Amino acid sequence: MDPMVQKLRDTGVIPVIALEEETQALPLAQALLEGGIPAAEVTFRTAAAPGAIRRMAKAHPEMLVCAGTVLTVDQAKEAVDCGAQAVISPGTNPQVVEWCLQENVPVYPGVATPTEVEAALALGLTTLKLFPAQVVGGVSMLKALYGPYRQVKFMPTGGISPANLGEYLTQPNVVACGGSWLCPKDLLAAGNWQKIADLAKACADLVRVLRGL
């Protein structure tokens, strides 16, 4: 298995994060690490993303810091320049994918249909983001895709919570799940890092049980 994909699988859940202030990056990273989740998908939904990625990557090289919601090549370049180890997108932009492959940057674009899966396969990719997971069929969709596309692994994101995490992580074609419940906006705004650490620990414990680690 590809080393980056193995890291994703070992973590099990990748927190999907939208930070309003880049100064939130370090206490958040510390909380996630304390809870046993050494990964973060910092989304380009806010202007704080590049600075937050830079701070996390510099302070915690042991952490898998990914850039999320990357829609353009310029964003991909900025993310990598800031230290992002992987690029994740809600859809598949061939230009972004081709740039990442050219630069040897792991890239996991989003798909929602078999046609989009085949388009991604044609670009040379076999690990993809299923988004928005619950809306497009969730576990039922993953089971349906497994038959014809057994070589493809997915990172379902969207609508996943502790209540249905087990259904997803036990699918043979799921590497990891993206989850926003670990870093909700209210806890980030309040700076409640201990609560985030507690959520991360509960999640990490659940992943270990589900995967027999």
210 part of a folded domain = no
- Model confidence pLDDT, tens digit, residues 85-109: 999 999 999 999 999 999 999 999 9
- List the alpha helices (DSSP H) in 16-174: 25-35, 49-59, 73-81, 94-102, 114-122, 138-146, 165-169
State the catalytic residue, choosing from 22, 41, 78, 153. Answer: 41
126 part of a folded domain = yes
37 part of a folded domain = yes
143 and 174 Cβ atoms separated by less than 8 Å: no
- Model confidence pLDDT, tens digit, residues 36-87: 999 999 999 999 999 999 999 999 999 999 999 999 999 999 999 999 999 9
Identify the CATH number of the domain in which residue 152 sits. 3.20.20.70
Instruction: Enter the pTM of the model.
Output: 0.97
Considering its fold, how many domains does the chain have in total? Answer: 1
22 part of a folded domain = yes
Q: Which domain holds residue 97?
A: 3-205
129 is an active site residue: yes
41 is an active site residue: yes
213 part of a folded domain = no
- Model confidence pLDDT, tens digit, residues 112-130: 999 999 999 999 999 999 9
179 part of a folded domain = yes
Q: Average model confidence (pLDDT) for the chain?
A: 98
212 part of a folded domain = no
Q: Please state, in angstroms and rounded to a whole number, the distance separating the CA atoms of residues 83 and 202.
A: 28
211 part of a folded domain = no
Burial class (CB in 10 A: 0-12, 13-18, 19+), 129: buried
State the catalytic residue, choosing from 7, 22, 78, 129. Answer: 129
**Phi and psi angles of residue 113, each rounded to the nearest 5 degrees, phi first:** -145, 160
